[in-house]
Structure 1
Amino acid sequence: MSRKASWMAVALAATLGACSSVPYAQRMAQRQAAYAAAAGAPVRSFHYFDLYSWEPLGDSQLAVYAQPNRAWLLDVGPCPNLEFANAIGLTSFTGEVSVNFDKVLTGRGFPPCFISRIRPVDVAKLKLEQQAQRKIESEPRQPAADAAQK
């Protein structure tokens, strides 16, 4: 791919990203609020064997899914590259991720981010919260003839 084509692809992606009706900061705040509402009391550790999925929630928080229905909300200090990483890693000792001991890895050249708090996420409650955020209030349109008379 030529340099010009690369720049055009980046410009197109930026333009499409700007077309969203909800600003990025507002969407991120909604996601953080949904996860915070579904998160339980802090725990010291959780069992981890394989990373099913993950979602960054800013530069100091992320959701980690060990299974499709088992998630954890991790608080980390300001973590460079967390929002932009294509992949992450978690350190663990004998299959257990612990607070103040294990770290989130965001890529080469970036320092590891220590985990300061772990909270289990009630995934069913999270899904209900997300569905509530998706609801829209709508009104039927008036026929054109009715609108013209007013």
Structure 2
Amino acid sequence: MNTIRNVATVLSAALLVSLAACASSMPREERLALYQAHAGEPLRKIPYFSPQGWEEVDENHILLTMRPSEVYLMTLNGPCLDYDNGKATMLITNTAGYVQQKFDRVSFGTGMNCRIEEIRQVDMKAAREANKASSDAIRT
């Protein structure tokens, strides 16, 4: 049973990476619009534990992947990402294992940090399907 779960996790991660690869070739405005169109209502707080990765969407938004089926679009209060100097490591403050909007902050170890203004969970399956449909429409 663990083998099936591990294979499913690997496949989900591969699909997420493929969407990120396709999405990263999109202009920033289109990527942000894709994620916003498939994001739920703002959340006050989310559980925070060993994130699998993150993606810069634009200077005020990041996509945080906690697990392949749990991805969040975070709006930051400033152009924090302009000062990351290409760092791959991102730090997020949290309290008792939760990240809260309007309270916790994102930084890259540069001394600059930005408050998280909004957190919305993204339906990555729907975003992948919309991205694929859009790509298919362009090709035809």
Change (3 A) 1:104 1:27: same
Which structure's residues are more often strand, by fraction?
A: 2
State the one-letter code of the partner of 2:132: Q
| Partner Cα separation in structure 1 for residue 132 and residue 43 of structure 2 | 27
Of Structure 1 and Structure 2, which has the larger fraction of its residues in helix? 2
| Structural RMSD (CA) | 1.8
How many residue pairs align between the two structures?
A: 113
TM-score w.r.t. the length of structure 2 is 0.73
Q: Structure 2 counterpart of 1:117, which letter?
A: E
TM-score by length of 1: 0.68
Look up the match of 2:38.
38
Higher relative contact order (CA 8 A, sep 6+): 2
- Residues 137 and 122 of structure 1: CA distance in aligned 2, closer, same or farther (over 3 Å): same
Q: Deviations over 1:33-74 (max 9, x none)?
A: 110111011010100111111111111111101001101110
Structure 2: unaligned runs, 5 residues or longer: 1-24
Moved over 6 A (4+): none
What is the alpha-carbon distance in structure 2 between the residues aligned to residue 41 and residue 124 of structure 1? Answer: 17
Aligned match of 2:97 = 95
Unaligned runs of 5+ in 1: 1-23, 139-150
- Within a 5 Å distance, the mapping from 1:70-109 to structure 2 comes to 70-78=70-78, 79=80, 80-82=82-84, 84-108=86-110
Counterparts of residues 23-34 of structure 1 (less than 5 Å) = 27-34=27-34
Of structures 1 and 2, the larger Rg is shown by 1
Q: Indicate the residue corresponding to 1:129 in structure 2.
A: 130
